[in-house]
Amino acid sequence: MAIHDLNTAAVGGYAMPGLVQYRRELDWAGTSRPSQYLPRHETFHLFQLEYIGLRDLAPGLRVLWLLEATAEWAAHQVEGQHPATDGSGSRYGANLTSFLREPNHLTDLHRFRVMAPHAYGAFLFFEYLEETLPAGSDIVRQIWDITGDGLIPKAATKAIEETIEANGGTLADTLAGFAAANYRIEQTYTDPDRADWVRRLEKLGKRPALAGGHALDPAAVGVFAGRHGLADGGAAYVEFVADGATEGTLTVTVDPAADLRGEVFRMVQHPDLCGDAAGGIVPVALGTPTEIPITPDCPEATLMLVRVDLGADLRSVSWQARWHPGSPTSTEVVNGGFETGDLSGWAFVEPDGGNLGVVTAPVHGGGFAARIEPLTATTVGLSQRIDVDQWNHASAWVALDAGSQAPAQVTLELVAVDGTVVAATTRTLTTAGSWQRLDVTYPLGSGTVWYRVTVDGVGAIVYLDDASLGIVL
């Protein structure tokens, strides 16, 4: 084997059977010491080529991603950690940000890219395998053994899957675990250079790039949705964050899709889980609403979607989430007559599109009623979460204000946590000053719903009073 110093040549370094070439003065760490990292990376390519040969790189470049990711991993195994005063050790994390900036794919097989920083940063996957599978650091040799077994090398993805299975794991569990570990990288890896990884990820918030982020309003119902493209082993992370004093329920539904897993991290503040992993990480059954409690002690939730296969196609996945602020579910309408003099117990529907408040006149009963005035939003109203199992009838009294500039369409509905309407009734108010009753019957045992009264009609003003539940025989 020959190692050749390219000195000031334009190329950084490369390897071919029996030969490694690199630029001696190329200092990846930003110090005056010539880096030993690059020749170690290139030397590992020599061993890789013993398994597959140069001729096997051409057909689709099926193993190019594996070449670079494992060469980065191997160079670190030899070089190890450096003192904090010697920045050369941080070369190992130089491409990590590029990898975690694109968490929606593990390899580059879904698109043609040669020598992309993402591939070098994928060393993290082999770190994860080393730390979690019984083979430890021998795991990479086992992958290359399987890759080079036979006249035609196996695809890198197939070799990885077979190696994981030979070590008692499954590809799906491994990919899901890898995505989860990356989200909480400060607490999940043991590599001595982890602190440097975290430092490099500062601009990303010390975690992979997010697919979305949503604030949970302490006073208003929220409806969210998203669609993301995931390729092989990719993940999408969507964060929901409430004010520290907020309490409520976030209901998440992930549309069914092949080879997809969903989890929700309940967090005090990233990266700290609420309690242990058993209580802080909630599995999401696809197609089924999953309720996530939000409390002052646990105000954050992150939805993680992971594609748990290594297919090269880009696949679309979608989800929906509904946020309902308020205390744990009641079995009756709370403050249905608004006699507290405010809207406590109720959440707002589209509060930015209207005025909502409490008045002392007109009222249907007692001393107060709610006032609902749509301004710009199509629908404005009030809602609260109730367990209606023991009831089969809902009602409320509504009246149109004499100063309304338009008629109003008022709806009383019970909506299940997955968004399904259990029962609803709608009435158009055209005569001012007359209280009218909205009532609807539904099956006993309907479970937990949102009791919701909404008004449609910009320019209208509607009063609401004496919202209640009951039994109709």
CATH code, domain carrying 268:
2.60.120.1300
Tell me the mean pLDDT in the region 218-224: 87
- Examine the domain organization and report whether 153 and 12 are in the same domain: yes
Q: Is residue 334 part of a domain?
A: no
Q: What is the predicted pLDDT for the residue at 31? A: 44
pLDDT of residue 285: 94
| Beta carbons within 8 Å of 294's beta carbon, 6+ residues apart | 216, 240, 242, 246, 247, 248, 249, 250, 301, 323
The domain that contains 125 carries what CATH number? 1.10.390
Lowest mean pLDDT among 49-58, 80-89, 204-213, 392-401: 80-89
CB 193 within 8 A of CB 89: yes
Tokens 């070439």 correspond to 21
CATH number at residue 446: 2.60.120.260
pLDDT reported for residue 378: 74
The mean pLDDT value of the chain amounts to: 85
> Residues 394-423: pLDDT tens digits?
999 999 998 888 899 999 999 987 788 999
The per-residue pLDDT for range 148-173, each reduced to its tens digit, is 776 556 778 889 999 999 999 999 99
d(CA 124, CA 72): 9
Q: Which of 24-33, 107-116, 176-185, 306-315 is the least confident region? A: 24-33
Which pLDDT band, with edges at 50, 70 and 90, does 188 fall under?
very high
Residue 235: inside a domain: yes
Residue 331 belongs to some domain of the structure: no
Question: Of 177, 204, 231, which residue is a domain's last?
Answer: 204
Nearest-angstrom CA–CA distance, 343 and 336 = 9
What was the pLDDT predicted at 26?
A: 46
311 in a structural domain = yes
Instruction: Let me know if residue 125 belongs to a domain.
Output: yes
Rg of the chain on CA atoms, in Å: 30
Q: Do 297 and 357 lie in a common domain?
A: no
Q: Are residues 162 and 251 in the same domain?
A: no
Question: For 224-345, where are the alpha helices, taking DSSP H only?
Answer: 277-280
How far is Cα 294 from Cα 324, in angstroms, rounded to an integer? 10
Res 457: pLDDT: 86
Give the domain-ending residue among 184, 204, 224. 204
Mean pLDDT, residues 369-395 taken together: 91
Query: How far apart are the C-alpha atoms of 25 and 35, rounded to whole Å?
Result: 8
Residues 318 and 430 in one domain: no
On whether both 286 and 369 belong to a single domain, the answer is no
In a domain, 338, yes or no: no
* End residue of a domain, out of 204, 222, 251: 204
Do 87 and 200 lie in one domain? The reply is yes
The model's pTM is 0.79
What is the DSSP annotation of 29-59?
Answer: TSSSSPPSHHHHHHHHHHHHHHHH-GGGGTT
- The predicted model gives 88-108 an average pLDDT of 79
pLDDT of residue 91: 57
Residues 232, 309: one domain?
yes
Asked if residue 168 is part of any domain, the answer here is: yes
> What is d(CA 301, CA 303) in angstroms, rounded to the nearest whole number?
7
| Bridge partners, residue 326, by sequence | none
Provide the phi-psi class of 383: left if phi over 0, else alpha when psi is between -120 and 50, else beta.
beta
Distance from C-alpha of 149 to C-alpha of 164, rounded to nearest angstrom: 16
Sign of CA dihedral 375, 379, 381, 382: negative
Position 320 scores a pLDDT of: 94
* Rounded distance between C-alpha atoms, residue 251 and residue 293, angstroms: 9
Residue 333 falls inside a structural domain: no
Q: Which of 244, 294, 300 lies closest to 272, judged by CA?
A: 300
Distance, C-alpha 54 to centroid of its chain: 40
Residue owning tokens 């599995």: 283
Domain check: are 381 and 445 in the same one? yes
Kindly state the percentage of the chain with pLDDT values over 90: 53
Residue 85 has pLDDT above 60, yes or no: no
- Tell me what pLDDT residue 379 has: 86
Number of domains in the chain: 3
Q: Which residues lie below 8 Å from residue 58, measured CB to CB, with a gap of 6+?
A: none
Whether 197 and 253 map to the same domain: the answer is: no
- Residue 112 to residue 94: CA distance in whole angstroms: 22
- Sequence-ordered list of residues with C-beta below 8 angstroms from that of 60, at least 6 positions apart, any chain: none
- pLDDT at residue 264 in the model: 98
Tens-place pLDDT, residues 3-42: 545 554 444 555 555 555 555 544 444 444 445 667 778 7
Q: 54-92 burial by CB neighbour count: b if 16+ within 10 A, else e?
A: eebbeeeebbbbbbbbbbbbbbbeebebbeeeebbbbbb
| Residues 180, 305 within the same domain | no
Same-domain check for residues 136 and 282: no
User: 451: domain range?
Assistant: 347-470
Whether residues 198 and 233 fall in one domain: no
Half-sphere exposure of 199 (CA within 13 A, CB side): 11
How far from chain centre, in Å, is Cα 29?
34
